[in-house]
Structure 1
Amino acid sequence: MRLFCLLFLISGNVIAQQLTKQEAIRLTLENNFGILIATNSIEVAKNNKGILNLGYLPRLSTSAGANYQSANSTTSFGGALNPNTGEPRADIEIEDAETQRYNAGIDLDYTLFDGLGRFYNYKRLKEEYNLTELQARETIENTILQLFTVYYEVARLSENEGILEETLRISRERVSRSNYQFEYGQNTKLNVLNAEVDVANDSINLLNTRQQLVNTKRDLNVILDNELERNFEVDTIIQFIPKLKLDEYLEKSTENNVTLLQNESNIKISDYDIKVSKSGYLPTIGLTGSYGWNENRNPPSAFFPGNVADTYTLAAGVSLTWNLFDGGSTITRVKNAKIALDNQEIIRSQVQKEVKRDIANALGNYENRLNVYKIQQQNVLTNQNNFERTKERFKLGQVTSIEFRQAQINLILAETNKNSAKYDAKIAELQLLQLTGQLLNEEF
């Protein structure tokens, strides 16, 4: 009784929402953490190549100040006589004499020419932006490949679950039939026990597969940034790209492979580094301008009355700076930049060979797995035919339970191997598409 209760729990299904491939891609592009970080990196590179970061705009600054001074003074005449009265002149005392000074000004500096350093730095930053986009594309491609690796694993386990459920159903029927035959003396208790052992094994296999399926769905939810326990069903229909279209992709693989494109971008950046460094050989021409205001409020003194003086100044100038020799720093920078460019060209030769090798290996793996899948499809048909014949003969008592079980196991292996071969071939195709630079251009 407990065994059949367990079987009832195992066979229970929960209705879940369908997660299509297109929906999985959309959620990944919108929510995946790695893709969000890559998108932010593009924004940083975009800001870096903007006009505000290139040095083409003038520098404008302003300043202002105020000073206050209060003083007490006594002026003595050292016994000098007043010419009008003939008496000694009295001391002159001034208290709380206030002196105030105010100033304000605005300064403008603009570099007219800096040896073309800004120009090539702008081109370098534009190329860095392109490189960041390529790096983001690589991140997206890797994430999409990871997405479908997990998505198809969910599909494989879902199909295997269906196979094992059908296997368990057949094994349960066999237990019922064995018990019925035993009650009427048509077989021994051993056949009943063998059938119950097979049911237990099939139950364990189904439980393990379901647990693997639950775990893999959690993995997929992490990629999609869904709730971990969200349940769903996936699309198990697989379509392969026509060979003619795949051949077209292979012909253009060197033009679209993201690794080769990144290497070309690095070469351009290194070339611009040389030109930026060479700008140190040329002079720098700049413009300066200023406008200022000063006001002095002076208190009266012993001999002069108080006064207020306002001054307005306007100045402009041109400067030329030419570093005739900087101790060899510019020469060193140019030499090192040339070495960096040479290294990038060496890396290009290496990457080109590696990419060609990877494409050849991926193509071979794909064709091999596709052939294996075709063989497994035929193998399933053969084992299905064999199992149906064995099942009929088992009902007639012409084969033993061991022979029946072996035919059943062969069919299970054939069906699960076919599922594995199908999804292995599809993943191999996706890997090939990534290497040819077409992964994001295909509809799934």
Structure 2
Amino acid sequence: MRKLVFIALLFTATAVAADQSFTLQECIQFAIKNNPDLRIQNKVVLSKAADVTSSYGNILPNLSFGSAYNRISQAASPKIIQGAVVPQPAGISNNFGAGFSYTQNIYDGGRWRNEIKLAKTNYQSAIYDKNSNRLSLIVTVTEKFYNVLKAQELLKVDQKSLENSQEQLKKTEEMHRIGQVAKKDLYKAQVKQGTERLKVIQQEAELKLALADLKAVLGIRGEEVIDVYESAYQKPVQIDAAIAYQKALEANSDYASLQTQRQSAQIQCKIAKSAWYPNLSSSYSYSRSSSKFSDLYSNFDSRWSSSLRLDISFSLFNGFDRKTKIQQAKLAYQIDDDMIEKKEIEIRNTIQNLVLTLDTYRDMIDINELTIASAEEDLRLAQEMYRLSSATLLEVLDAQVALTKAQSDLISTKYDAKIAEARLSLVMGTLGENQ
């Protein structure tokens, strides 16, 4: 039995420790599924949907049914009638009753209609808020994902640079052994190799931190090992700022949420104004009573009573409550107008900055690719000239540094561009269309 338990635990530990490779889309789906904030937001949307159903209760009729039983026990006691004492025997009396009532709101100044509109608007606002949280999560996952890819690629560059420095050190040692170069070149090669080793160690730590950040966003706990990959890098496309701004006004979740918030304030103003109108309602009730239970459901032409009522009421004065609520609703509506105007300015500025940033990144990618080609050729020539004693080791090391920097710059630019592209898609409202 203990052997079986041990095998089961070993299998579980192995399964947890197994590597998992994720694409960007898989990371996004995984995060959406496991994010607690989105689960909470889903419940908020369901609650707002229930409020819509509940709001119809102000116009729908109210129908109720009731029944009652009353038993009275009385002890024997004398009773004086016209000066004479008349004995009263003990007795028990029963009374059964049943009936129903119906009430209907006829007119309340449009309050019920606007409360239904308000519930629907709040429900739509909850959907926008949920979508906004989902898109923010997608952007965060995208940033963490590309930070991991960037750290992986930079680590490869540093490892390659370390390999080159180790090869150069071997060549320098051999050239020093035969007396072709001075000892100072050997020291320089050793220092270069140590520096590159330190860069690899530092970049490995950066990769671990980037993976930890991604695991936290995905909701992965413990020491589970994950890996990410991208089948092919797609260079960000050029986007016109004016078109992007127009799309943002049509699809940006935060902007749409502010618009529904303004609609809610406008409806609340109408609800507040309904207090200036009279309320009209009607009610009808029917009841039966008898000392015998069986009589409640027979002889329907007797032992019954009914009531039909029409009520109209109007508040003459309520301590300035109506006026104050209307003023507050108007101010809320005006505040929402200002917030929408502020949001439009914010969206325009953000789009302009991100479009300019992406244009710069695209140019930098093209330039860095040319720089890498040039640096590779410079390094090849420097190594060949050093082998022929026509160049110094410092020139070779400088060429290696230039190549490593060009490669690192290209990697950083490529993945920073993808992050900026995701942020622009978030503002435009086009992010997550396929998620």
Q: Which deviations, in whole Å up to 9, do the C-alpha atoms of 1:246-278 show, x marking residues without a partner? A: 764444333333333233222222221221112
Deviations 1:216-271 (A, max 9, x none): 11211222223453311221733234336776444433333333323322222222
Residue type at the aligned position of 2:21: Q
Cα separation, partners in 2 of 1:435 and 1:176, compared to 1, 3 Å: same
Separation of aligned partners in 1, 2:400 and 2:210: 27
What aligned pairs does 1:260-299 form with structure 2 within 5 A after superposition? 260-296=255-291
Match of 1:116 in 2: 110
Partners of 1:432 and 1:74 lie apart in 2 by: 93
Q: Deviations over 1:313-355 (max 9, x none)?
A: 4433332223344443223322332232222223333332232
Partner of 1:370: 362
Which residue number corresponds to residue 400 of structure 2? Answer: 408
1:155 and 2:159 equivalent? Answer: no
Name the residue aligned to 2:11: none
Distance 1:50 1:418 in 2: 56
Q: Distance in 2 between matches of 1:278 and 1:71?
A: 57
The answer as to 2:360 corresponding to 1:360 is no
CA distance in 2: counterparts of 1:159 and 1:236, whole angstroms? 14
**Displacement after TM superposition at 1:47 (Å):** 1.8
SS of equivalent residue, structure 1 residue 441: coil
Q: CA deviation at 1:117?
A: 0.6
CA shift at 1:54, angstroms?
4.6
Structure 1 window deviating more from structure 2 (266-275 vs 152-161): it is: 266-275
Question: Please, which moves more after superposition, 157-166 or 64-73?
Answer: 64-73
The residue aligned with 2:299 is none
Residue of structure 1 aligned with 2:374, choices 382, 385, 406: 382
Structure 1 gap ranges (5+): 1-13, 82-88, 298-309
Deviation at 1:376, TM superposition (A): 2.0
Residue in structure 2 matched with residue 317 of structure 1 by the alignment: 309
Residue 136 (structure 1) aligns with = 130
Report the alpha carbon displacement of residue 396 of structure 1 after superposing the two structures with TM.
3.5
Match of 2:6 in 1: none
Matched, 1:206 2:200: yes
CA distance in 1, matches of 2:72, 2:392: 118
The alpha carbon displacement at 1:118 in A equals 0.9
1:186-218 CA distances to partner (integer Å, 9 max, x unpaired)? 445554444333333222211221222122112
Once the 2 structures are TM-superposed, how far is the Cα of residue 158 of structure 1 from its aligned partner?
0.7
Greater shift, 181-190 or 257-266, is seen at 181-190
Q: Contact conserved, 2:236 with 2:362, CA < 8 A, in 1?
A: no
Query: Helix, strand or coil: the match of 1:38?
Result: helix
| Aligned length, in residue pairs | 408
Matched, 1:338 2:330: yes
Read off the aligned partner of 1:21 and give its amino acid letter. L
SS in 1 for 2:75: strand
Larger-Rg structure: 1
Task: Return closer, same or farther for 1:198/1:351 CA change in 2, 3 Å cut-off.
Answer: same
User: What is residue 220 of structure 1 aligned with on the other side?
Assistant: 214
Write the distance in 2 (CA, Å) between the matches of 1:323 and 1:121.
Answer: 20
Q: Is the CA contact (8 Å cut-off) linking 2:52 and 2:120 kept in structure 1?
A: yes
Does the 8 A contact of 1:154 with 1:234 survive in 2? Answer: no
Of stretches 135-144 and 237-246 in structure 1, the one that deviates more from structure 2 is 237-246
Identical positions, percent: 19
Among 165, 169, 174, which residue is 1:171 paired with?
165
Contact 2:52 2:116 in 1 (8 A): yes
3-state DSSP of counterpart to 1:49: helix
The structure-2 alpha-carbon separation of the partners of 1:125 and 1:177, relative to structure 1 and needing over 3 Å to count, comes to same
Query: Normalised by the size of structure 1, how large is the TM-score?
Result: 0.81
Question: 2-side partners of 1:436 and 1:76: how far apart?
Answer: 91
* In 2: Cα distance, 1:217 partner to 1:349 partner: 40
Q: CA RMSD in A?
A: 3.2
Measured after TM superposition, the shift of residue 39 of structure 1 is: 2.5
- Partner of 2:32 in structure 1? 29
Does the CA-based 8 Å contact 1:18-1:235 persist in structure 2? no
